[in-house]
């Protein structure tokens, strides 16, 4: 069975029109717009759906507040979908919709769905990078961009009350893999049929971070662009359009090496431009970041108070005991 990534994010929002304007300016390709629903379709074929909050809420969901109310996961083959659904149906209700998606709740109350997905091939051409002594771009300038146009949904992040229990469901029932773990902060989980470093990040809802109050909440979604130029052209365009700028500015994570730029989003949480992340498969050895801040960022442009002192360089390989027990287990 192979889940290949996020097929759709369904947002529940307080103002559909304003949130549609935001995502259009952000660069998501608009497919349809109405007062009660807007739909964007990215180059890979994934979608972002924006609906009024009450219309998007899923009965029984643990998610509090606006933002992504349901995450649809793409499955690569009918046999895989049948196997996953058959297993889930043994202990929970499932609801099928007209588009062939099976909707359900995880044990921790996260609304998910499974749907057959055929991803479109992506063709990108980031500019070669020159460095002292290594010339990759001779007699050729870098491209001049006007807009950022995200090509893919790379991951979504949810604050959950019990990181360990939330991951065990994803692992045992849906085949997710762990990529990295930051005790006290969260766990990076990858779909079995994807090579993204992570497709879902489970954030500790009790972490000492702004907005973390112990409730299950949507935190942010990451949309992939080609390179640092596209990130910053997008950031500048959003500022010129009057949207609130990033609090951190441009940065790079250590955990997945990715460049990031988070923007406050009226649809809930943040919308992130991402580029140059690590890709991993089952040969990857997950790591245990003893110092969560060390794993969080290699650098950020607007240095926050919590990152004023360089964190200790503490990281080792993850063990099964880290996942299953002990005081330092995910969510413990």
- Give the model's pLDDT for residue 331: 35
**Cα–Cα–Cα angle for 186, 189, 192, nearest 5°?**
170
In sequence order, which residues have a C-beta less than 8 Å from that of residue 181 and are 6 or more positions away? 187, 188, 286, 287, 288, 289, 318, 322, 323, 330
Return the H-helix or E-strand segment holding 296.
helix 292-296
**Could you identify the residue written with the tokens 């973390």?**
212
Q: Nearest 5°: phi and psi at 166?
A: -65, -40
Q: Specify whether the CB–CB gap between 275 and 235 falls below 8 A.
A: no
Domains and CATH numbers, the chain: 3-119+149-324 (3.10.180.10)
Cα separation, 169 vs 92, in Å, equals 13
Cα separation, 264 vs 241, in Å, equals 14
Cα 149 to its chain centre, rounded Å, is 17
- Give the model's pLDDT for residue 325: 52
Burial of 43 (0-12, 13-18, 19+ CB in 10 A): middle
Integer angstrom CA distances of residue 20 from 11, 17, 30, 158, 251: 11, 5, 9, 22, 26
- Give the model's pLDDT for residue 285: 97
Integer angstrom CA distances of residue 137 from 32, 130, 141: 40, 6, 7
**In this structure, what DSSP letter does residue 176 have?**
-
For helices 16-26 and 228-240, the axis angle rounded to 10 degrees is 140
Burial of 151 (0-12, 13-18, 19+ CB in 10 A): buried
- Give the model's pLDDT for residue 332: 33
Which residues are paired to 157 by β-bridges? 201, 220
**In this structure, what DSSP letter does residue 301 have?**
S
- Give the model's pLDDT for residue 174: 98
Cut 0.85: pTM above it = yes
Per-residue pLDDT of the chain (332 residues; tens, 9 = 90+): 599 999 999 999 999 999 999 999 999 999 999 999 999 999 999 999 999 999 999 999 999 999 999 999 999 999 999 999 999 999 999 999 999 999 999 999 999 999 999 899 999 999 999 999 999 999 999 999 999 999 999 999 999 999 999 999 999 999 999 999 999 999 999 999 999 999 999 999 999 888 899 999 999 999 999 999 999 999 999 999 999 999 999 999 999 999 999 999 999 999 999 999 999 999 999 999 999 999 999 999 999 998 899 999 999 999 988 887 533 344 33
Query: For residue 227, how many other CB atoms are within 10 A of its CB?
Result: 19
DSSP E strand boundaries for 192-290? 200-204, 217-224, 251-252, 259-264, 270-275, 287-288
177-182, strands of its sheet edge to edge: 299-300, 251-252, 259-264, 270-275, 217-224, 152-160, 200-204, 186-190, 177-182, 287-288, 316-317
Q: Specify whether the CB–CB gap between 35 and 21 falls below 8 A.
A: no
Q: Nearest 5°: phi and psi at 54?
A: -65, -30
Cα separation, 255 vs 179, in Å, equals 9
């Amino acid at each position: 069975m192979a889940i290949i990534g996020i097929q759709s994010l369904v947002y529940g929002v307080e103002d559909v029109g304003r949130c549609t304007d935001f995502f259009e300016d952000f660069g998501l390709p608009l497919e349809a717009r109405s007062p009660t629903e807007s739909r964007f379709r990215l180059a890979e074929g994934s979608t972002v759906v924006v609906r009024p909050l009450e219309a998007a809420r899923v009965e029984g969901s643990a998610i509090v507040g606006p933002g992504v109310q349901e995450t649809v996961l793409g499955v690569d083959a009918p046999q895989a979908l049948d196997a996953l659904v058959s297993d889930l149906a043994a202990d929970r209700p499932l609801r099928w919709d007209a588009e062939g998606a099976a909707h359900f709740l995880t044990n921790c109350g996260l609304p998910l769905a499974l749907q057959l997905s055929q991803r479109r091939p992506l063709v990108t051409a980031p500019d070669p990078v020159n460095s002292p002594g290594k010339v990759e771009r001779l007699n050729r300038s870098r491209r001049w961009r006007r807009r950022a146009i995200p090509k893919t949904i790379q991951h979504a992040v949810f604050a959950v009350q019990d990181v360990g229990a939330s991951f065990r469901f994803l692992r045992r029932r849906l085949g997710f893999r762990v990529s990295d773990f930051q005790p006290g902060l969260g766990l990076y989980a990858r779909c079995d049929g994807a090579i993204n470093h992570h497709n879902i990040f489970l954030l500790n809802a009790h972490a000492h971070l702004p907005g973390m109050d112990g409730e299950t909440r949507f935190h942010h979604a990451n949309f992939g662009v080609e390179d640092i130029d596209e990130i910053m052209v997008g950031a500048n365009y959003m500022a010129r359009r009057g949207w609130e700028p990033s609090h951190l500015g441009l940065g790079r994570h250590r955990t997945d090496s990715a460049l990031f730029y988070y923007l406050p989003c009226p649809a809930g949480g943040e919308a992130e431009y991402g580029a140059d992340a690590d890709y991993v498969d089952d040969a990857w050895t997950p790591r245990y970041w003893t110092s969560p801040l060390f794993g969080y960022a290699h650098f950020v442009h607007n240095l926050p108070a919590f990152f004023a002192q360089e964190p200790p360089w503490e990281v080792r390989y993850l063990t099964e005991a880290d996942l299953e027990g002990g005081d330092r287990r995910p969510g413990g």
